[in-house]
Amino acid sequence: MRSSEPARRFRMKGEKGTMATVTLNVVRGDAESGASLEKYEVPFRDGMSLLDAIFWIREHVDPSFSVRYSCRSANACKECSAFVDGKPGYLCSIRAVPGSEVKIEPLTGRPWIKDLATALE
């Protein structure tokens, strides 16, 4: 796996210091092109889930980022499952922690479609 260029830091308008961020190290790619480890620093918001952080990446950095989801924050659909720091979990229910760094990988045992999206079985 290769790492992308250094993650960027973000500041709020008028803010002198750097705002709190959460760092996501995400396995990206697909079975055909292979995997790479991409690093993103996302501005932290109170109550933010890891799925919310991924939506921020899609909206502000890379709209091609693929992740499977349906309910967004209710943990009802069970579609946003991934490995977080080596343990399976639901991205919508795992809260981001300011200043933390997490590794997110697609589930194994299912066909890999792209980025964090795997086939439903």
Judged by DSSP in three states, 43 sits in strand
**What are the b/e assignments for 50-86, b being 16+ CB within 10 Å?**
bbbbbbbbeeeeeeebbbbbeeeeebeeebbbbbbee
Res. 15: pLDDT tops 50: no
Indicate the CATH number of 21-114 among 3.40.50.970, 1.10.10.10, 3.10.20.30, 2.40.40.20. Answer: 3.10.20.30
Res. 26: pLDDT tops 90: yes
Angle at 53 between CA 52 and CA 57, to 5 degrees: 115
For position 117, what pLDDT does the model report? Answer: 96
Q: What is the mean pLDDT of residues 11-40?
A: 84
In this structure, the strands spanning 101-105 and 21-30 are parallel
Domain extent listing, the chain: 21-114
Q: What pTM was computed for the model?
A: 0.81
For position 85, what pLDDT does the model report? Answer: 98
pLDDT in tens, 53-106: 999 999 999 999 999 988 766 666 778 999 999 999 999 999 999 999 999 999
